[in-house]
Structure 1
Amino acid sequence: MDWYPAPDETTLVRTPIRFATGYAHPVLGSRWFRDTERRDIQAELPGWPAGPEYTLHSRTTQQVDKVAGGFLSGVVTAVQLAVEAVVGGNSAGKGDGPSRATPQDPPNESEDFPVLWAAPGTLARTVPWQLDPARRPERYRVDAVVTERRLLLLGVGGDMTAPAEVLWESARDVIAEARPLPFSDGGHDLRLTFTDGSWVRLATGDATKLVGFLTDRRRPVPAAGLTPGQQDRLARFRTELPADAEDPQVFQLPSGVFLVEAKVPAKRGKGLYETHTILMGEAGEPARPQPGDL
């Protein structure tokens, strides 16, 4: 899965990503690809293989789904709480935002569930079909990579020694808006809206964090750019971390506060991490985040 940025750019985040899946009972397990007239356009997308055809669940099916979904939701919630406890509570869907129990956009979340909304010739029509879990091969995933100037989608196959394939990329400035969507399974959905008005609805492990990078809430700061006081605090932070921690990363938030973040492999599950963080000011002193920082 090796992929490396250009010598003059930095990888800010890399995370698995896919098209989202319907969460409300009428659209449960479904996804559609629409133009601005709400027509299905998946057959028009160049190079896309055939995929499943979805229909809204009938009232009878919805009642069955509601019973099964209620039980499953309880299981998912329990698992989600356990994961949040392991990773330090950084999952999306928490806090004082809208509840994920209520659709925020019924025409696109419970009455229909488009994951691609695009007029002819717009950018959303160019995203790769491998984002669709129903189309891509088994043991294949897509990773989103954000650098300070690009968003890339990489294809990763079953052979972990093979290079990742660049499926799609665009400059950051074509993304007009990136925002998390609370009404989703686990709060993992986000919407990327491009400057031409087209958009895609995607799902990832930490939608809020990915959105934060895409909206420039976190500006990476090299260690050489820190003040002596900040470098001293960073050195002390390193001594406080477990031996298997990844090297800390430093970011400046919109208010000017500095966030230092280090990932530590969790003992409770492979691929899970605890995130250790501190906030500091210009001299390395403790600081508080301000509205809009996190």
Structure 2
Amino acid sequence: MEAIDDEVIWQTSRTDIRGVELKNFKDGSDFTITFLDGSWCRLSCRSRRQLTRYLMRAPVLLAVVDLNQRQRRAVLDYADEIEMPDSVSPIITQNPCGHYNVDILLPGRITSAFGASEASLILDEEGRDIDFSDYHPEDF
């Protein structure tokens, strides 16, 4: 795997973020982060959904063992399908609508040009992969 040679130039705690607002300007990839002190910044990211999802609300992370048997089987089957290494754990969160986001960050897909690329699926309570046409707004 190629080494990533990035330098952190500034960072803050998640608790210092007051809110995130999506901005659908020119290409629909902008968003504004407002901090507790009233300062803000406007950013643009091609993977806006993946990035802002964790900033807009503090997600409760779930483990595979927290899922019901059908959901667990769906996650494990998907992990086998994409050849998830044993050293990686799925990132699982439940949306307010009841659907489950499952993101798997694969080390082989991390590059300095594009960052982390994930394999994702959204499950319902029965462990079925939700069709894109059946997504709720919170699923994006």
* Structure 1 residues 199-226: Cα deviation after superposition (integer angstroms, max 9, x where no partner): 2224556333222111127532122211
Map of 2:31 onto structure 1: 190
Distance 1:280 1:232 in 2: 11
The residue identity in structure 2 corresponding to 1:277 is S
Map of 1:257 onto structure 2: 99
Matched, 1:275 2:124: no
The residue identity in structure 1 corresponding to 2:137 is P
CA shift for structure 1 position 250: 1.3
CA shift for structure 1 position 253: 1.3
Give structure 2 stretches of 5+ with no counterpart: none
SS of the residue 1:254 aligns to: coil
Q: Give the CA RMSD over aligned residues.
A: 3.3
Contact kept, 8 Å, 2:122 with 2:139, in 1: the verdict is: no
Q: Which residues in structure 2 correspond to 1:227-266 (within 5 Å)? A: 227-242=68-83, 246-264=88-106, 265-266=108-109
Ranges of 4+ aligned residues in structure 1 off by more than 6 Å: none
Map of 1:142 onto structure 2: 8
Number of residue pairs the alignment of both structures matches: 129
Distance 1:190 1:292 in 2: 16
Give structure 1 stretches of 5+ with no counterpart: 1-138, 145-152, 154-168
TM-score by length of 2: 0.67
SS of the residue 1:292 aligns to: helix
Higher Cα Rg: structure 1 or 2?
1
Q: Which residues in structure 2 correspond to 1:78-93 (within 5 Å)? A: none
TM-score by length of 1: 0.36
Map of 1:175 onto structure 2: 17
Q: Percent identity?
A: 22
